[in-house]
Amino acid sequence: MSMKRQVSYRWRLREMMAARGVFTATELVPLLHERGIDLSSSQVHRLVTGTPERLSLPVLAALCDILEVTPADLVVTTAANVAPRKAAAGEAPAPVDLATVRPRRARVRPD
């Protein structure tokens, strides 16, 4: 059986913005526009305050250029091995030999 891995990431845009003196999402909108990225102020706000599940590479590249960072500075990844789940009773149930298991014949009874 192979070991499963739990993979997660942390979005550090707000930290990188603060380190570069950019403190609001509205300051970021014109900087993105200068680089050909036209996002609304609400989209940029969600990008700054939340953790995106999807992000286009042009947006990532523009953010890296604006903040003078690398993608690894913006997205910190972690991975850890996950222990296999145990059965509720503490032991794994015994495997069933399907050759010995047969369905029961149905009986139709008249009313």
Which pLDDT belongs to residue 111? Answer: 75
β-strand partners of 5:
81
Which pLDDT belongs to residue 1? Answer: 56
Is 26's pLDDT higher than 70?
Answer: yes
pTM of the model: 0.69
Q: pLDDT category, 10, cuts 50, 70, 90? A: very high
Is residue 83 within 8 Å of residue 14, measured between CB atoms?
A: no
Is residue 85 within 8 Å of residue 5, measured between CB atoms?
A: no
Which pLDDT belongs to residue 101? Answer: 75
CA 51 → CA 66, 88, 93, 105, 106, distances in Å? 19, 35, 41, 56, 56
